């Protein structure tokens, strides 16, 4: 179990102030992130303002609100507790204006952490539910707000529409269809997320195969709370090009072999994996073993506001707990470019930009 320390206003519960020595360079590194949920990237100050001013069914006291939307020191580190945080967070998407603000602030926070390119995922059904909006409406609001914010902040943002396993299959079909219709407007992928334990992936297989045929990149949450076989199934049956988390794949040789053969990248989220009980501690995280097994790995923050972290903190944790060097971190950043749902020409351009800056800083 990691030592959990007191949290600052926006971050810090999982970060160790003693780890700052010699690693300040991480903040200045240009970064790429492929796995971050919009709904888990909201500022506490904004949530408090909205809670106090809009009569939402959430606490107006900061301490009580934190207990509902963040993993705190006394919380059980379980997937049930982790997913429960989203129940409160989904009350906040009350209007197009609020959704646009939350998108803008999330992108500003990415820019502040020197993330130059991100694929930010969001759950249209969750954003639509609080006020009965249509999936098409909320997708358009998110894409438009994202387009404006990324130009202002200097961050390139692409979007992945996420489907939760517990949602009706008709909703999944609706989201997949709307996502395919918005290719070319910044929407690049489709994701399957949520409760792996109680909801299998089989009912969604044809939806994701059709989405892949439409040109969408496929990322599937697998091997986070279920066994390594779920990772193999996500690649074989759903056509996953990337695996969200995938920590349990280390237990399934077939999954590792297929990931190597197909160059399928794993979107690893160290702190989230501990906070959600996917692994018991940083020390037991299989990140080094996945790298040694030849799997393409990227580092990501998953839900930074729920865990009180930034992407820089995930890179620092990799250094602190696994001894990864700055050169290794640079390699992981470039691996994320290769795994991005970008056209080859755009990948080459982004990779060239990052290499010039990353290795200029190294010299």
Residue 57 vs residues 38, 62, 173, 174: alpha-carbon distances, Å = 20, 14, 30, 28
* Every domain of the chain and the residues it spans: 17-362
Share of the chain above pLDDT 90, in %: 83
Residues 6+ apart with CB under 8 A from 143: 159, 182, 185, 186, 187
User: Tell me, what's the pLDDT at 360?
Assistant: 80
Query: Which of 349, 344, 335 lies closest to 34, judged by CA?
Result: 335
pLDDT digits (tens, 9 = 90+) for 227-239: 999 999 999 999 9
- What is the distance between the terminal CA atoms of the chain, rounded to a whole angstrom? 37
Residue 361 has pLDDT above 70, yes or no: no
pLDDT digits (tens, 9 = 90+) for 196-209: 988 989 999 999 99
- Catalytic residue list: 224
| Chain position carrying tokens 């982004």 | 350
CA–CA distance, 109 with 112 (Å, rounded to integer): 5
Average pLDDT score over residue span 259-277? 97
* Average predicted confidence (pLDDT) for the chain: 91
Residue 11 has pLDDT above 70, yes or no: no
| Whether the model pTM is above 0.85 | yes
Instruction: Look at residue 92 and give its three-state secondary structure.
Output: helix
Model confidence at 102, pLDDT cuts 50, 70, 90, reads very high
Among 204-213, 238-247, 353-362, the least confident range: 353-362
Average pLDDT score over residue span 91-106? 96
Please give the CATH architecture assigned to the domain spanning 17-362.
Answer: Alpha-Beta Barrel (3.20)
Phi/psi at 76 (5° precision) = -70, 135
CB 290 within 8 A of CB 299: no
Among 14-28, 43-57, 107-121, the least confident range: 14-28
Helix residue spans in 183-236 (DSSP H): 205-213, 229-236
CA–CA distance, 210 with 207 (Å, rounded to integer): 5
User: Tell me, what's the pLDDT at 280?
Assistant: 93
Joined together, the tokens standing for residue 289 give: 């073993």
Choice between 73 and 142, residue whose per-residue pLDDT is larger: 142
CA–CA distance, 272 with 286 (Å, rounded to integer): 14
Instruction: Look at residue 193 and give its three-state secondary structure.
Output: strand
């Amino acid at each position: 179990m990691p030592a959990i320390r007191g949290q600052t206003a926006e971050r810090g519960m999982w970060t160790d102030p003693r780890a700052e020595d010699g690693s300040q360079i991480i903040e200045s590194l240009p970064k790429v992130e492929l796995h971050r949920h919009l709904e888990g990237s909201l500022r506490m100050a904004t949530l408090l303002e909205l809670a106090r001013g809009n009569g939402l069914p959430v606490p107006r006291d900061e301490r009580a609100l934190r207990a509902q939307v963040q993993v705190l020191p006394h919380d059980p580190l379980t997937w049930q507790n982790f997913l429960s945080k989203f129940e409160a967070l989904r009350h906040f998407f009350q209007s197009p204006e609020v959704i646009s603000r939350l998108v803008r602030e999330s992108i500003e926070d990415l820019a502040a952490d020197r993330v130059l390119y991100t694929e930010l995922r969001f759950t249209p059904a969750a954003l639509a539910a609080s006020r009965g909006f249509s999936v098409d409406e909320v997708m358009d609001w998110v894409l438009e707000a994202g387009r404006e914010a990324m130009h202002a902040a200097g961050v390139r943002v692409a979007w992945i529409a996420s489907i939760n396993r517990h949602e009706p299959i008709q909703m999944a079909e609706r989201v997949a269809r709307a996502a395919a219709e918005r290719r070319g407007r910044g929407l690049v992928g489709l994701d399957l997320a949520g409760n792996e334990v109680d909801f299998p992936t089989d009912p969604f297989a044809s939806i994701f195969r059709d989405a892949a045929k439409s040109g969408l990149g496929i990322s599937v949450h697998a091997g986070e709370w279920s066994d390594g076989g779920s990772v193999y199934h996500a690649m074989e049956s759903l056509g996953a090009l990337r695996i969200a988390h995938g920590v349990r794949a280390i237990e399934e040789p077939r999954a590792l072999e297929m990931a190597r053969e197909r160059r399928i990248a794993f979107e690893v989220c160290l702190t989230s994996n501990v906070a959600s009980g996917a692994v018991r501690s940083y020390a037991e995280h299989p990140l080094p073993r996945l790298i040694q097994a030849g799997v393409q790995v990227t580092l990501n923050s998953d839900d930074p506001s729920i865990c009180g972290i930034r992407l820089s903190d995930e890179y620092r944790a990799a250094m602190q707990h696994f001894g990864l060097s700055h050169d290794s971190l640079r390699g992981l950043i470039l691996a994320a470019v290769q795994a991005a749902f970008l056209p080859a020409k755009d990948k080459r351009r982004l990779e060239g930009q990052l290499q010039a800056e990353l290795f200029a800083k190294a010299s």
